[in-house]
Structures are given as C-alpha cells and as structure tokens.
C-alpha cells in the first residue's frame, strides 16, 4: 500500500521507467531505447531517434511526421490534417469544460459493453481509442483490466485525473498512428470517435490491427434515423446550424450550447417525464426523440449539444452500413445493437494453420 508522497512518487517513477518496454515509436514502429534520462521525461526511438516528451506523467506520442497536430503541405493529405487539427482543438476545449464524472456514467458504460459483465474485464488488456475524459477507461480498469487509454487532445490530462488510482495508462497519441505492437489487446473499443474522423474506415481497419486473434473490437457510431420523420427534421435543422457553428469560436459556442440544451429539455425531456407519469398515454413518451437525456444531468445535454455543434465532421450510419463496416473487417460473431446510436462489435478470427 502506498502510504507516503515518496511512495507515490516512487510508484510513478517505476511506471515511467518501464514505458519504453511497453510502447513502440508511432513514427516507424520500432522499439524505444531503454530509459537513460534520469528524469524519465523522454522516450527516444532506437531506430529513427525521434524524441517524445513525458509531461505530467503522460507520454505525448504525437509524431511530427504523421500527427494531425503537425500540418502537411499539399492536397488531400493537407485537408485531412487540417480537419484533424480542428477536431483535436474542439475536443480539447470540450473535455476540459465537461470533465465531470457522474454516477450515471457507470450504467452508460455497461450499456455500451452489453452483454459483458465485470468478470469479462478481469486480467484483460484493453485499448480505449479516443478516451476523452477517461470515463470508460475508469470502469474498465476498476474491473481489473489493464487499460491503455489514448486521445489526441489535451483531454488526456482530464482522463489522467479521472482514472487516478485505477492503474489505467493514459497516452496522448493519434489513433491512426498508435504506439503499440500489433495484436496486443484482448479488447479494443472506440466509443463515439470514428464518426468524427476524416476517414473512419481507415481508422477502423487500423484499430483492428491491435486486436489479438480471438479478441474483440467494439465501437459506438451515430445512427441515421430510419422511419423517424421528427428526428430527421431535427437533424436537418442541426446540420443547417452546423454550417455556422463549426466556424464559431469555442468560447462563444459554449454559452450557445446551454441555450440549445435548454430547448431540448423544454421540448422533449420535460414532456417525456410528464407523459411517463400518465398511465393512459405513457407509451407515447417513448416516441419522443432525445428522451435519453432524461437519464442524465442537464450538463450532459449541454455537453452533447456542444459536441454536435462544434465537431468539424459528423457522419451518421444506417444499421446496414454498420454491418458492412464489420463485414469489411472480417469480424466474426457480429452484433449491431441500438443504443441511441449503434453499438457494434465483433470477434477477430483465430487463424489456424492446417498442415499440408
């Protein structure tokens, strides 16, 4: 048991010292050199010699060559990097403003992980790709998983605070250029991330590389409304608004998101709660869009409105498109479940060699 400041510092120092053994260079994929810096503030690639700082105990593995935080110089690649930069800036602002860990996140986590139970996570090696404030990493690690949580934005600093004491490892890195060996993880999940990326399919295929044979990949994607005319109308209105809001300064959009959330609560959440109290018409309440916010604090709704109005890119998928996603990855035991979006998962095939 750690019972002094010195013990805590010693524990952190030991963890940092061993990082070079666990990670690989995101630029070239080679091993890091054994830690020689007495302050343990750098990871240095043994092949390309690129140096990566460790700041506040968090390895900052953003390659100058590949990262969206480093601008390119031409064409389509330049556009993708620019969008990735804007996305990282948006989420950095978002997650430093909406950093709260609510009790409601626990049920949210298990809804995303259904049908898994805490026993599933025990002794598993897990990758949280796009961890945000670390709320999913917190519950996975609390169940006994070895969690590596990655985000490209400054949200990693919030995630480190929110997962303190769970043993989760927080890394700042681009999920398109991860600092891990292929086939390292029993479970890779990415919740609410891929639909914000310039090339979701490419990111999906890249993440699959890190799943062990027999391991699981899981993701959450926004859904495209099918047979829901009111929801389609609302999304059209939001899409029209986004042509303006994605260009707004985040500090101005932040109070505007409170206004949007108030409208959501006034038009949908409060009517939903009222209708649920009237037995004769309670079933009608389930026809209302955005009723999911009745489960959460008001600031969760504000958070989601900011997310929706700020993120430079937002894609939505039908069930058939999500199923095609999984098919393209060659995953087995596929599941696509509705959860105010799509929770999709599948198992990476176990490759068996048949003797000639």
The enclosing H or E element of 293 equals none
Say what the pLDDT of residue 68 is.
47
**Residue range 265-269: average pLDDT?**
96
Q: What average pLDDT does the structure give for the chain? A: 88
Say what the pLDDT of residue 95 is.
94
- Strand intervals (E) in 14-137: 42-44, 51-55, 58-61, 125-129
Query: Which residues have a Cβ under 8 Å from the Cβ of 268 and sit 6 or more positions away?
Result: 288, 289, 290, 291, 293
298-310 and 250-264 helices, crossing angle to 10°: 130
Say what the pLDDT of residue 11 is.
44
The residues with which 58 forms a beta bridge, in sequence order, are 55
Say what the pLDDT of residue 332 is.
96
Bridge-based pairing of strands 58-61 and 51-55 is antiparallel
pLDDT for 165-218, tens place per residue? 999 999 999 999 999 999 999 999 999 999 999 999 999 999 999 999 999 999
Q: How far apart are CA 116 and CA 75, in angstroms?
A: 44
* Cβ atoms of residues 173 and 26 within 8 Å: yes
How sure is the predictor about 73, in pLDDT bands with cuts at 50, 70 and 90?
Answer: very low
Has residue 351 got a pLDDT over 80? no
* Cβ atoms of residues 55 and 44 within 8 Å: no
Sheet holding 146-151, edge to edge: 42-44, 51-55, 58-61, 169-173, 146-151, 125-129, 185-191, 211-221, 342-347, 332-338
Bridge-based pairing of strands 125-129 and 51-55 is unpaired
* Cβ atoms of residues 54 and 40 within 8 Å: yes
Least confident of 56-65, 249-258, 311-320: 56-65
Say what the pLDDT of residue 161 is.
97
The DSSP symbol for 174 reads B
319-328 and 200-208 helices, crossing angle to 10°: 40
Q: How many alpha carbons lie under 13 Å from residue 12 in its C-beta half-sphere?
A: 19
pLDDT for 26-42, tens place per residue? 999 999 987 655 456 88
Domains of the chain, residue spans: 1-61, 97-224+316-347, 229-310
How sure is the predictor about 137, in pLDDT bands with cuts at 50, 70 and 90?
Answer: very high
How sure is the predictor about 22, in pLDDT bands with cuts at 50, 70 and 90?
Answer: confident
Whether domain 97-224+316-347 has CATH 3.40.50.150? yes
Q: How many CB atoms lie within 10 A of CB 10?
A: 12
Burial 126-154 (b: 16+ CB within 10 A, else e): bbbbbbbbbbbbbbbbbbbbbbbbbbbbb
Of the candidates 60, 270, 23, 10, which has an alpha carbon nearest to the alpha carbon of residue 171?
Answer: 60
Query: What is the separation of C-alpha 99 from the centre of its chain, rounded to a whole number of angstroms?
Result: 14
pTM: 0.89
pLDDT for 81-133, tens place per residue? 678 788 889 999 999 999 999 999 999 999 999 999 999 999 999 999 999 99
């Amino acid at each position: 048991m750690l019972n002094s400041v010195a013990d805590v510092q010693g524990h952190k120092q030991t963890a940092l010292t061993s990082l070079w053994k666990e990670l690989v260079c995101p630029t070239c994929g080679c091993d890091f050199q054994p830690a020689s810096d007495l302050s343990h503030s750098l990871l240095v690639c043994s092949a390309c010699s690129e140096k990566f700082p460790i700041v506040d105990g968090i390895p900052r593995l953003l390659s100058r060559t590949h990262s969206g935080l480093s601008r390119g110089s031409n064409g389509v690649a330049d556009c993708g990097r620019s969008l990735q930069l804007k996305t990282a800036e948006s989420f950095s602002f978002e997650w430093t403003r909406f950093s709260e860990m609510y009790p409601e996140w626990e049920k949210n986590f298990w809804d995303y992980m259904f049908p898994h139970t805490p026993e599933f996570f025990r002794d598993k090696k897990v990758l949280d790709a796009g961890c945000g404030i670390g709320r999913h990493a917190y519950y996975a690690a609390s169940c006994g998983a070895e969690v590596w949580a990655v985000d490209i934005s400054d949200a990693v600093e919030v995630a480190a605070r929110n997962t303190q004491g769970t043993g989760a490892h927080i890394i700042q890195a681009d999920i398109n250029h991860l600092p891990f060996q292929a086939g390292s993880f029993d479970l890779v999940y990415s919740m609410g991330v891929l639909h914000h990326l310039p090339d979701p399919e490419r990111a999906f295929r890249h993440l699959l590389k890190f799943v062990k044979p027999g391991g699981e990949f899981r993701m959450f994607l926004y859904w495209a409304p099918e047979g829901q005319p009111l929801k389609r109308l609302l999304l059209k209105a939001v899409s029209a608004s986004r042509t303006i809001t994605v260009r707004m300064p985040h500090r101005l959009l932040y109070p505007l998101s409170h206004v949007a959330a108030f409208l959501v609560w006034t038009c949908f959440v409060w009517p939903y709660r009222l209708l649920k109290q009237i037995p004769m018409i309670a079933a009608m309440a389930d026809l209302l869009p955005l009723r999911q916010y009745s489960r959460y604090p008001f600031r969760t709704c504000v958070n989601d409105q900011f997310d929706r109005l700020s993120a430079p890119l937002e894609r939505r998928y039908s069930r058939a498109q999500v199923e095609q996603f999984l098919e393209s990855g060659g995953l087995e035991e596929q599941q696509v479940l509705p959860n105010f979006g799509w929770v999709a998962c599948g198992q990476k095939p176990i490759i068996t060699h048949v003797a000639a």
